[in-house]
Every structure is written in C-alpha cells, then in structure tokens.
Structure 1
C-alpha cells in the first residue's frame, strides 16, 4: 500500500480560527464520577490558560450514546433509549456546569449533525478500498462491545476471559464490514513517532507495541439484529456502525465536518482508551483522507483510598454529591494539584481537606486577609511599588511551561512555594510591629511586596480556581482588564483595595 502521510502532512490547518482541544465523549450507561471531572478539568484549565495568553481554543466534550450497553441500561430502567440518554447526558451537563467547565461545544452522538457526519465519514472510508464486507470470527467481549485478539485471551476452566478485564468472552462468527488495518501499519508508526505526538512520552512504547504486535483487521460494524441502537451503515440497514467508530467521529462533528474548521486537534484521553485513539482513530482518518490528530494527551486513573473505583464494591465518588463539602474551586484545585498524567491519582477525603485548608485557606487566603485588615491597613490601599525581589523572575515562565504541558501539579507547587516564602517574609517583617512603631514607609514596602505576590500568583491561579482567584483579585482592587499572563510579569500598585474580602472556608477534618 502506498504511503499516505506525506499527503496528510501537506494539508494545512485552517488559519485565524481557534485551535481544537477535546475530551473523550463520555459513555452514558452510568452516572458521572471523579474521573470524568478530572478529564474535563484538564481541558478546561488548559483552555483557560490559553485565553490568559490571548489565544482562543475550541474546547469540546459530550456524551457517547449508542451501543449495546446503553440499550441494555435503558431497558433495565424501563426507559426508551433516547429518553434514558437525555437523562444521563443531562447529568454530565450538570456536572460540567456546576464545576465551571467552559466548553465551546457539548456534542451528543444522537444528534442529527453527528449522524450525518458519521454517514459521510463512512462513505469516505469506503473509497479507500480498505473496507470490505466479509465473515468475521473471534472472541467477543459483550461488555466492552469489542472483539478480542486470541493473544489477549486466557482460559479459566471452560471459559475464555479477556486479559486485563477478566470479562467472559464468547466465540462469534458473523458477517460484518471489516477494516484492513494492517495495510496502514507503517503509516501509523510514522505518525505516532512524530514530535510530542504522545504526551507524556511514557505512553509511546505502549502504543508502539500495540501497532507492532497486535495490529489486525478490525470489524467496524455489527449485525443490526444484535445491535439496533446505533447508526445504520449507509446503504445497508442490516448492519449498524461499530459504536467506537461512531463515537470517534464526534471530534469531526464539532468541527463542522465535512468543513473541518478547527482540525486537527489535541485529544485528552484516559489510558484505558489509548488503543482506540492511538491506533484505530488515526487509521480511520487516514482512510478517509484526513489528517490524524495533532497530539494525544494521556492521563491515568483515579483510585479511592488507594482502591480502584468499582460499582460492585460501591466506592465510586460523585463530585456533585460532595460539592458543598469541598466547594467547586476546592474540587478543581485538588484534582489538578494531585493529578499526575503518568500515574494513578488517589482521592482521599481527609487528604483533600488538609490540602485545601493548608494551601487555599491558609497560605493564600490568610495572607490576603492579613494585608487587607483594617488594623494593619486602615487606609485600605494597595501601596505603590516598582520592585519586588521576593517574586522570582522565572516563576511566570516556569508555571507557563508546566501548564502548557498539562503538568498543573508542578505549576501549582511552584506557586505555593512562592506564597510560602511570602508568608515567612511577612512573619519575619512583623508589619503589626511596624504599625505600632510608626514606621509607615517600611510598612508600605512590606504590604506592597506581599500584595504584589498575592496578585501575581492569583493571576496564575485563574485557570485552576477561577472563582477564588477572581475574588482575591477583586479584594486587591485589580481591574478586570489587568489580569492577563503579561500582567503577572509586572510589578504594579498604587490603588484602593476592593470592598469584599476573599474567603475559602476551612473544611472540617
């Protein structure tokens, strides 16, 4: 097969339009949990950081609503499949709205615009001659709705299980449309090995091994007699388009496909769906004559008290149920502070409370309240100043580099390090003593340094805790148009404080 990538890399993204960043679309067979929120927060905080620099991004999310599991869940609840999808999709919308996820588009795979995009994409794939109808045989995982290669199965008595998930498999032989994935093996390896294509790079060897060792022809449809809740194959209603192919096309639907206003984009995904996004999706795009994604940003999972979340043991965490206890910005801060892309995160309520109390309530909140107290600052001013040697000249660039690379935890630790030093500086300077001694010039200097650090750190914190950081900036009297990344680089002062004080209520341990 001729090489395809030279054609793809020759295509130029549309200029003067927002760039694209996406989360996966979330399967609606169950309620949202902490892992869903974390994925959405990565996209939201990253998009906010771009806007802090004056860069516009098209940030999309949504729900995946076709497939056997959704149909079965609807029947279990005694509901029509679409009505069931409406209800569960609404829960994801509520989660994102209440946690200030500012998405540009929320796509549902049951929408007409998406169905039309999938049908057009299917027809483009067929033109590649990589799609044919034939008998497909293999071990089928009905829970994940996917055929499992023989090498990824194991015997357990008289049962065949999927390696990893331990799902019971059944042998299936049926007529499907099949995609000749091995024809694109070399092109996939060339694509995946592109600069910074897979981030973090620790996931690249996993993907390379999948392409080298486990690539095989893929069934991309199911008999409509077995799977009716989905999009029929154009021109062949006896077959339903495979739910993963259907779902992946959402990334094109949100771009106005076949127009493609924002493509290609960056996909934020969990490590459990790496194969679908790093093997199947770029291959499908190549077959349809389109550029593969710009980048895959892969994150790990969340545990609860160091145990994998599971419905069977009842330890899933619904952030909406705990929103009032930890607050919106508390959840945002904890997940981005503790989440590390290449390692599983751990939710523990006591750890979360201790972290928020220490870093948001004490280290930042109390510092601002101390500087703005009437006893210490009766004039209620943010003093004038032009120099602050306590604020590291490299901080904005260091935080920016880490936020840009989705290493929010590193950027937040750098910010906290500066705030801790500022608290120590204020404690050592004893401004309350300076007030009693009438040393007004020295007092103004101390207050300026502390307020300047609070202002600049709060500007940097806006993508992570937009409400709390905004309340600090309001308290410091910072104009709304003076809160960009460039303003975090500059010393500034000489105005009145705001009238409302920021407050992050301490959480009872």
Structure 2
C-alpha cells in the first residue's frame, strides 16, 4: 500500500455540549445544539491524491450502475483528491487496530472496515478470493467510500478494483425519510402478513428504482398488486383455464389455417413482442434495473389480455369447424404466453410462478429458458405442450386486496 505520510495539521471538528460563547453552534446532528471546537492532531495519511489517475482509468470501464451515480463519481474525480486520514491517536481512540510499527496510533474507519471485505472473501488465498469479478451492492449514502476510497485501497495494494458497483437509492414512507422518531418505519413482517412474501417482493422489485428514491405507502402496494398480479396475470390464467371455456383442461392444438385474415397483423405483433421478451428482460436484469424487466413482462401480459378479449373465444361456435379451431388456437397462444410469463417471473415471485406453472402442467425440467422453446407450433414446429393436461386448480393466483375504512389493507 502507498507509504503513509505523517502530518501535524489535521484539523478535526469536535462537537461538545452547548456553552455560552459567541461561536455559532452546530444544529445538524439531530441531537440539539452542540458547540463546535476545532482541534489539531497528528495522523497517518493515505496518499489518495496520487491515485486519482488510476481511479479515472478504472472509471472508464463503466463499473458504476446506474449511470446517474457514475456521473456523480466522475464529477468528484474532476477535482484534485485530498489525502485521507487513516489513523487516530491511541490516547483518544483505544479500541482501534494498532498501526503496524506505531502502537501510539490506531487505524481509523473506513480503512479497516473496507479491508474487512478482503478478509471475508478469504484473502490472500486466490481460490477463495476471486476479487476481480466481484459486484458490490451499496446504498447511495456510502458511494464515496466505495467508489473512491475502496478502489484506491485495492489499487495501492496491487489488487484489482471491483468490477461492478450496484448503487441503490432509498425507500421513503409517505414522501418522508423513514425514522423511528417519526414512527413511519415500515414493518416487513407485517407487510408479509398483509401481502404475502411474493406480493411484497414483487412490489419492492417492480416499484423500486435504484436510480431514485421510491415511496412506500399501503395504498400504492394495494393498487399495484391488484392491477398486475390479481387482475392482469391472475385474471388471464383463471380465464383460459376455466372449465367453461376449456372443458378438456388442457393445452389445445394450434391451427395455422384458422387464423382470421383480420387478425393476422395483431397476431404478428403479439408474437413479435413475445419472442423478444426474454432478451429484453435479460437486458434490464444485466443493467440491474429489475423494475424495468418486470415492467416489460407486465406490458406483455396486458397485450395478451387485450388479444384474448378481442378474440372472445367464449363466443366462438363449437359446431363451426373453423371457429372451433381458432378458439383452440387462441387458447394455445394465451397458455403459451402464460407459460413464458411464469418462467420469467420465477426469480421475482417464485411461489406464485410455481403455482401458475403447476396449473399449466409444466414439468420441473421445462421451467427454464435454457433449451426451452415457446410458441413452437406457430412456426410449424413440434410442440410437446399441445394436448398437455393441466395440473390441479388451487383457486385464485393472487386474491385481490381490499382497503378497509382505516386505510389499512386486508386480503
């Protein structure tokens, strides 16, 4: 690591109880007015200033996501970096790690805290510490420590800096930062009881956005889960597996010749969007924007609902061969769409997606994108799901949430 510097001009602001003086008090700590006193002490300094070129070179690899935080770090590095104090005198701080070869000083956070990541990863054993490919997940309030100090420490030690930093913003409640004193902290256990584990997971992933603070209210949760899980996804599954429209309780066969001329363009557009959906979801996941991946899935679920509603298979006559074939084709297309949606949703809502796949009769070895083909029959290819019998009906996929008069939510 870079040779530390000794200095005697390190000025540190210390807050002490308010006393009668003309010096302005500090009121930003949240603990009332305290008086600021300036003291100087001798510290060890890390030569952060000398590593600015290395940090700029690392930044060119696009390691920080989302891009808004990459721009913040880039702005910080536009200016010269001051050297960083990494020790305190032992007489003032007795609990720290002693500085090697100088027991009168102890190492000060953040140096010891960040280096602890290496310890946890098994350093220096190369088999236990694959440090280069590591992705760090952190909150935006500690961005400077992880995007400036931490890579600088690693570079100075001759180790590769992190490959990726995924930075997330904060959750607020009713537009206000959560605080115990304000009593606006959200209880996750209570939320799981209200919305189920998958319901809460889906809301946080769908409504949350790493690049900006997001707000949590029970009304918002209720509205989103009702709209997307209960109505759009659950409603579509219930409609096309209902015994009155699908008395055989199976995947019907697809018939190319049954497609009405007036429906060709709509069907082509639907299939085009569905065929590119897995790649689109993968794109957003790799960019750490899960909310946009789920948004893409929801948009296609709504397209499938619109297609199903516009074709009204419940109105097609059983005695008319072409209409009966088109009814089977509409059901095949919708059921295949649901199989795709449930497969894509498995990482986000594993229990709900599993229930949907069970209902569709999808075997465990077919619940993956790898080596799996969707809508094969529309391309004239063999499709093993044609004729596949449904699994057991477990009722509503996600029951609608109802608001009580006290603005709470119940299932």
Specify the TM-score bucket, using the shorter chain as the normaliser. Answer: 0.7 to 0.9
Q: Tell me which moved more, 226-235 or 358-367.
A: 226-235
Q: Which residue of structure 1 aligns with residue 380 of structure 2?
A: none
Q: Equivalent residue of 1:504, what SS?
A: coil
Q: Which of 131, 138, 145 is residue 11 of structure 2 equivalent to?
A: 138
Q: Which residue of structure 2 aligns with residue 185 of structure 1?
A: 52
Structure 1 position 228, deviation (Å) = 4.6
Q: Which of 361, 367, 370 is residue 483 of structure 1 equivalent to?
A: 367
2-structure distance, mates of 1:318, 1:230? 35
Q: Contact conserved, 1:459 with 1:488, CA < 8 A, in 2? A: no
Q: Which residue of structure 1 aligns with residue 332 of structure 2?
A: 448
Greater relative CO (CA pairs within 8 A, separation 6+): 1
1-structure distance, mates of 2:130, 2:213? 31
2-structure distance, mates of 1:347, 1:263? 35
Q: Which residue of structure 1 aligns with residue 244 of structure 2?
A: 375
2-structure distance, mates of 1:467, 1:137? 56
Deviations 1:253-295 (A, max 9, x none): 3432112432121212221111001110011111111011112
Please list, as runs of the form range in 1=range in 2, the aligned pairs for 1:343-354 lying within 5 A after superposition.
343-354=212-223
Unaligned 5+ segments in structure 1 are 1-124, 144-155
Whether 1:496 aligns to 2:389 is yes
Q: Which residue of structure 1 aligns with residue 61 of structure 2?
A: 195
Whether 1:313 aligns to 2:182 is yes
Q: Contact conserved, 2:14 with 2:38, CA < 8 A, in 1? A: no
Please list, as runs of the form range in 1=range in 2, the aligned pairs for 1:352-501 lying within 5 A after superposition.
352-385=221-254, 389=268, 390-391=270-271, 392=273, 393-434=275-316, 440-486=324-370, 490-491=374-375, 492=383, 493-494=385-386, 495-501=388-394
2-structure distance, mates of 1:293, 1:259? 17
Q: Contact conserved, 1:198 with 1:298, CA < 8 A, in 2? A: yes
Structure 1 position 396, deviation (Å) = 1.6
**What is the RMSD computed on CA atoms of the aligned residues?**
3.1
1-structure distance, mates of 2:214, 2:33? 25
Q: Which of 326, 331, 338 is residue 195 of structure 2 equivalent to?
A: 326
Distance 1:203 1:483, change over 3 A: same
Q: Which residue of structure 1 aligns with residue 205 of structure 2?
A: 336
Distance 1:424 1:160, change over 3 A: same
Deviations 1:412-458 (A, max 9, x none): 12111111111122222223333766754333212111111111011
State how many pairs are aligned.
369
Distance 1:386 1:463, change over 3 A: farther
Q: Contact conserved, 1:457 with 1:488, CA < 8 A, in 2? A: no
Distance 1:353 1:240, change over 3 A: farther
Deviations 1:101-156 (A, max 9, x none): xxxxxxxxxxxxxxxxxxxxxxxx3xx32x2455462234789xxxxxxxxxxxx9
2-structure distance, mates of 1:337, 1:200? 16
1-structure distance, mates of 2:31, 2:374? 53
Distance 1:283 1:199, change over 3 A: same
Q: Contact conserved, 1:434 with 1:440, CA < 8 A, in 2? A: yes
Q: Which of 153, 166, 171 is residue 284 of structure 1 equivalent to?
A: 153
TM-score when normalising by structure 1: 0.65
Q: Contact conserved, 1:268 with 1:296, CA < 8 A, in 2? A: yes
